[in-house]
Structure 1
């Protein structure tokens, strides 16, 4: 990535020549390419996706979920074995994101993937009445063509609030002695990486329609990087204020910025390799 000094020179030249002539477009294209390569390589330097295909890795998933959903958020009751599972895990695929240097897991997500008529998505069982966009009701599609992204969980140690005006600043649980400044800059991308991991798993399986119940502010945050979920119903009270959202491959491909399109491509490659 260009240094602040280099970037300011490019910005200044771009402002002088304008963005619509050939030189302006070249500068803009160069900047976008640099940013795309930086974001993707930065993420993959410190974090790597792994499909939880073994019982050992699935237990890691269930432990993280227990920590977040049972102990921290109290959405689910505490379990004696410290593992959070539900009926949907029997037909779900799980992904973990691992912090490379510590080998600790920085987050998990699943896609609930029904294949038989009696298997329902969580959104169908608990929040079906919240879907008011009738054309995108999951009941309209074949079971094998739909999935739901759910149980996204990031352990406290990998969550922080960003303070852009203070180099390397991090608050909360993160111990700055344990992680480098460069790594700390990457952690806000963990949630994005998890959604990309879910997208990667869905694309690898040829799934056409994806659903998720999420907070509107999270949907807006995902929109900033170009993951444009389509809201298909009003906000309801389900583990807090959440709304039903829909996304498909066309929506994903047409809205992603070049930076995050490359990140998705690299994560998908990693998932395919590790599956």
Structure 2
């Protein structure tokens, strides 16, 4: 049939698009693991900006730091916006041991109705929670918002290149992919997330498909518990995100390796498996 692309043509186009996504992302953003005291403080400050000052989920404090008890056994990923040298996003992996709880076990007890996938069924070292995803407001702006409140978070959106704006939808996905690398590296088998259903739908459209394991509850807004494994993320990942995943994996592993060279503080997970 004339005009219809062959499967080979379609696959080539998909691979080309995937390479462009990874290239554009790497041009403007740098994913890393927060290992130095300075980077960890940047995590807490960014979370304060988003969770306290912008969204009002937690009270504002003079130190401009958002931190809780679960940070004592967490690792953090960051995304740095290269041209402004500003951290755009962060997420943490809470990895309990012994009697330590996941955040959803403490604050959303009873939210999980899928008994087979309840974290209490598994060894503590086999579970984690991916939480405190924070994306600076500047990097949530759509193209249509480009000229509204343009100076946000110290960055003038009007000065960003069109290619940078096109990367914005992939920042959240990149945080989950970076967290996946940490989960894989330390052989954690079961990951949990409390998230808004609309975010779960958005990530599913990109190819990261969380399994809902309970109803929507009120917890910093309407959220539901979700379950996923690193293996499922890998198997479901579409061709359009594979080069991005490869780049993120390379950068995350490089930041962990660099910590040993420069003597930076080792991550909770890395220290626990040394």
* Corresponding residue of 1:141: 122
- The alignment yields a C-alpha RMSD, in angstroms, of 1.7
For 2:235, what is the secondary structure of its paired residue? Answer: helix
Shift of 1:130: 0.6
* Corresponding residue of 2:22: 40
Distance 1:75 1:176 in 2: 25
Distance 1:150 1:176 in 2: 27
Distance 1:171 1:198 in 2: 32
Whether the aligned pair in 1 keeps the contact of 2:150 and 2:157 (CA below 8 Å) is no
In structure 1, list runs of 5 or more residues that go unmatched.
1-14
For 1:131, what is the secondary structure of its paired residue? Answer: coil
Query: How high is the TM-score relative to the length of structure 1?
Result: 0.87
Tell me whether 1:235 sits opposite 2:235 in the alignment. Answer: no
* Corresponding residue of 1:80: 62
Which has the higher Rg, Structure 1 or Structure 2? Answer: 1
Whether the aligned pair in 2 keeps the contact of 1:160 and 1:172 (CA below 8 Å) is no
Q: 2:84 aligns with which of 80, 96, 102?
A: 102
Q: Which moved more, 1:182-191 or 1:43-52?
A: 182-191
Aligned residues: 252
In structure 2, list runs of 5 or more residues that go unmatched.
257-274
Q: Which moved more, 1:145-154 or 1:249-258?
A: 249-258
Change (3 A) 1:125 1:173: farther
Shift of 1:169: 5.1
Alignment of 1:193-272 (within 5 A): 193-272=174-253
